[in-house]
Structure 1
């Protein structure tokens, strides 16, 4: 299979998972689409080398998380120009939807690296070592970022305390 066909096959098979991970990182559908597009453009440039090395997922994941942090760093931090979204009524009997909204708001309050660590550890189900490799940091940084992110979630979203405690216990915290 030629490299272009191989890349198209990879993208068509992984676009949904990449989009979900990008949405969890950014908290915004449009920013997530931009992040996935930017990631795939960067990956496409080196596809022959990446695909020849075996499984391209770790490289693609690392590229996406690096791009997310880079984009966040470039933004001007003086004023947050986004208005808070209007409150929306939740559908009756939709506890999962309510929890998803709370998780989304809580994730939006985290620093990009903390959000990336939580998404990699608990959504992508990577180990601490794999997370450290993906983010290009040490395992102790992953542990401290996880600890700090979970503590911040407990503070900013007390309604998720039970969920955070469960995740913390999974991560080796208590």
Structure 2
């Protein structure tokens, strides 16, 4: 099988999972699609080296790009053509509550929570994916869970 076929097969098999992870990292379908596309484009030049086990490499690109994008966008204003006339209601479904809770976390904490509890990675795998120490993973998870508990959203214990 050629490298191109192997890459296309990987994309076909993992695109949905990558999009879900990217969505949890960004909170937006459009940003998630862009993030996955950027991650896959960045993975192509290294495909020969990572073809045997591409998931950790692609996941690392996803999380680093998500944090980078947040850093460059955080000072920008968000423009809208109309102001909501009704107060925002509490989310009717758990998935919406999860998305809102994740969106309230800083990018690194969000990435740690998504990788540890959604992707079910170990602390070591999460640290490797994010390029940080295991201790940082532990402290970021602790702080994120504490913040979620304060807001009444977390029932997960570390």
Q: TM-score, length-normalised on structure 2?
A: 0.89
Q: Deviations over 1:70-120 (max 9, x none)?
A: 11122252x541669875797xxxxxx611111111110100100000000
Matching of residues 65-76 of structure 1 within 5 Å: 65-76=63-74
Q: Deviations over 1:12-37 (max 9, x none)?
A: 00000000000000011000001001
Kindly indicate whether residue 104 of structure 2 is the aligned counterpart of residue 106 of structure 1. Answer: no
Which ranges of structure 2 fall in alignment gaps of 5 or more residues?
none
Q: Which residue of 2 aligns with 1:94?
A: none
Structure 1 unaligned spans of 5+:
91-96
2:78 to 66, 76, 81: 81
Find the counterpart in structure 1 of residue 118 from structure 2.
123
Q: How many residues align?
A: 154
In the TM superposition, structure 1's runs of 4+ consecutive aligned residues that sit over 3 Å from their partners are 82-90
Q: Which residue of 2 aligns with 1:28?
A: 28
SS of the residue aligned with 1:47?
helix
SS state at 2:93 partner: helix
Aligned residue number for residue 14 of structure 2: 14
Q: Following the alignment from structure 1 to structure 2, what is the Cα–Cα distance between the partners of residues 114 and 39?
A: 20
- How far the C-alpha of 1:49 sits from its partner, in A, is 1.8
The 10-residue stretch of structure 1 (16-25 or 39-48) with the greater mean CA deviation from structure 2: 39-48
TM-score, normalised on structure 1? 0.81
Whole-angstrom CA distance in 2 between matches of 1:64 and 1:99: 24
SS at match of 1:46: helix
**Cα gap change, 1:11/1:147 in structure 2, threshold over 3 Å: closer, same or farther?**
same
